Structure 1
Amino acid sequence: MENWIHNLDSFYITKDDQKIMFRDDFISSEERTTGLGKGIYSTYKYFDTYIWKEDSTNHYYFEWIPKVDENIKEVHFPDSFVCEDKNGYSTIPYMQGLLIPNRYEYDYSHIAFDGQFTSCAAYMPWLSQTNNGKGYIAINETPWDSKYTIDHDDKGTTLQFVWLTSLGKMRYKRIVRYSFESNMDYNRAAKIYREYVKETGLFKSLKEKEVTLPKISDLQQCAVVHTGIKAHTEKDSRFYTGQKDVIHSFDSVKEMVQSLHKLGSNKLYLHLDGWADPGYDNCHPDYLPACIEAGGWSGLKDLQKSLSSQNDLFGLHDQYRDYYYKAKTHDENQAIQLEDGSVFEHANWAGGRQNYLCASLASKYVKRNYTEILKHINLDCVYLDVFSCNEMDECFNLEHLMTRKECMEYRRACFQYMISKGIIPSSEECSDWAMRELVFSHYGPYEFMMKDENEKRMGIPVPLFNLVYHDCFILPWPMEKRQEDYMLYALLNGGIPYVVRNAPYDNVDGNFGSDGLSIEDKITRANIVLDFYQKIKNEEMVEHKIINDHIQQCTYSNNITIEINTKENTYRIV
Structure 2
Amino acid sequence: MKKTITNMIRWGAVLLAVLVPVVVNAIESATINVVLKDNRVVSNVVNATRIADNTTQIKILAKDIPANCKYIEIFADNAVAEKGQDGFWIMNRGLMGYFNKDNGKFSASKKYMYLPYYAMKSPQENFIAVIDGMRFEFNVNVEVVDGVYKMYPRWYISDIGFAPYEDIVITYYTLPKDADYNEMAKIYRKHRFAQNPKIKPIKERFKTQPLLEQVAKSFPVRMDFARKHFNRKKDNANFYQRGTKPWVDEKNGIKADREERAPISRHYSSGIAMMHKMKAIGLDDIFICASGFQDGGYDGRCPTTFPICKESGGEEEFKKYLAEGKKLGYVIDGHSNYTDAFTCSPDWSPDNISKSPDGKLELNGAWSGGKAYNLCLANAYEKYIKRDLPKLATLGLRGAHYIDVFTAVYPYRCCDPNHAGNRKQMAEIQDKIAQLCRDLFGGFASECGFDHIIDKVDYINYVTAPMRAKYVYKSKGMQFVDKFVPFWELVYHDIVLHNTDKVTQGTLNQDNNLILVEFGGRPIYYGVNDNNLPHIKKAYDQYMKLRHLMLEEMLSHKEVAKYIFVVSYANGEKVVVNKTKSSYTYNGVEIPAKDFRLISAKK
Name the TM-score, length of structure 2 as normaliser. 0.80
Pairing partner for 1:359 from 353, 369, 377: 377
CA separation in 1, counterparts of 2:280 and 2:511? 26
Alignment coverage as a number of residue pairs: 526
**Aligned positions of 1:161-560 closer than 5 A:** 161-165=153-157, 166-183=160-177, 184-201=179-196, 203-233=199-229, 236-237=236-237, 245-345=263-363, 348-364=366-382, 365-445=384-464, 447-449=466-468, 453=472, 455=474, 458-476=481-499, 478-480=504-506, 485-498=511-524, 500-502=525-527, 519-534=533-548, 536-560=549-573
Match of 2:147 in 1: 155
**Secondary structure of residue in 2 paired with 1:149:** strand
**Secondary structure of residue in 2 paired with 1:280:** coil
Contact 2:27 2:174 in 1 (8 A): no
CA separation in 2, counterparts of 1:207 and 1:70? 47
1:324 positional shift:
1.1
Contact 1:7 1:82 in 2 (8 A): no
CA separation in 1, counterparts of 2:485 and 2:238? 34
Deviations 1:544-570 (A, max 9, x none): 012344222210011111011234421
Match of 1:92 in 2: 91
Relative to structure 1, the CA distance from residue 445 to residue 422 in structure 2 (aligned partners, 3 Å threshold; closer, same or farther) is same
1:244 positional shift:
7.4
Deviations 1:294-341 (A, max 9, x none): 111111111111111111111111111101111112221231111122
**Which range moved further: 410-419 or 357-366?**
357-366
Match of 1:507 in 2: none
Relative to structure 1, the CA distance from residue 555 to residue 328 in structure 2 (aligned partners, 3 Å threshold; closer, same or farther) is same
CA separation in 1, counterparts of 2:557 and 2:27? 29
Match of 1:18 in 2: 39
1:465 positional shift:
1.1
Relative to structure 1, the CA distance from residue 379 to residue 454 in structure 2 (aligned partners, 3 Å threshold; closer, same or farther) is closer
Any gaps of 5 or more consecutive residues in structure 2? 1-22, 240-257, 581-592
CA separation in 2, counterparts of 1:304 and 1:381? 14
**Secondary structure of residue in 1 paired with 2:356:** coil
**Aligned positions of 1:67-106 closer than 5 A:** 67=64, 69-79=66-76, 81-84=79-82, 86-94=85-93, 97-103=94-100
CA separation in 2, counterparts of 1:280 and 1:481? 22
1:156 positional shift:
5.3
**Secondary structure of residue in 2 paired with 1:542:** strand
CA separation in 2, counterparts of 1:135 and 1:538? 30
Match of 2:244 in 1: none
1:432 positional shift:
1.4
1:52 positional shift:
1.0
Equivalent residue letter for 1:53: R
Relative to structure 1, the CA distance from residue 212 to residue 193 in structure 2 (aligned partners, 3 Å threshold; closer, same or farther) is same
CA separation in 1, counterparts of 2:65 and 2:517? 53
Deviations 1:376-427 (A, max 9, x none): 3342221100010112222111111101111111111110111122431101
Relative to structure 1, the CA distance from residue 325 to residue 418 in structure 2 (aligned partners, 3 Å threshold; closer, same or farther) is same
CA separation in 1, counterparts of 2:509 and 2:203? 37
Contact 1:238 1:347 in 2 (8 A): no
**Which range moved further: 139-148 or 517-526?**
517-526
Equivalent residue letter for 1:524: K
Equivalent residue letter for 1:208: E
CA separation in 1, counterparts of 2:300 and 2:39? 42
Any gaps of 5 or more consecutive residues in structure 1? 24-41, 43-48, 504-513
CA separation in 1, counterparts of 2:115 and 2:473? 28
1:72 positional shift:
0.7
Q: Which has the higher relative contact order, 1 or 2, with Cα contacts under 8 A spaced 6 or more apart?
A: 1
Deviations 1:117-157 (A, max 9, x none): xx5x3322111101149500000011233222222334354
**Aligned positions of 1:5-154 closer than 5 A:** 11-23=32-44, 51-55=48-52, 58-65=54-61, 66-67=63-64, 69-79=66-76, 81-84=79-82, 86-94=85-93, 97-103=94-100, 108-109=105-106, 111=108, 114=109, 116=110, 119=111, 121-132=112-123, 134-142=125-133, 143-154=135-146
Deviations 1:454-475 (A, max 9, x none): 7265331111111011111111
CA separation in 2, counterparts of 1:107 and 1:298? 58
Contact 1:5 1:82 in 2 (8 A): no
Relative to structure 1, the CA distance from residue 280 to residue 489 in structure 2 (aligned partners, 3 Å threshold; closer, same or farther) is same
Deviations 1:337-380 (A, max 9, x none): 11122222365111003321112123332221123223333422
CA separation in 1, counterparts of 2:506 and 2:339? 30
**Which range moved further: 332-341 or 405-414?**
332-341
Contact 1:388 1:431 in 2 (8 A): yes
Relative to structure 1, the CA distance from residue 176 to residue 352 in structure 2 (aligned partners, 3 Å threshold; closer, same or farther) is same
1:2 positional shift:
8.0
**Secondary structure of residue in 2 paired with 1:496:** coil
Equivalent residue letter for 2:95: L
CA separation in 2, counterparts of 1:518 and 1:448? 23
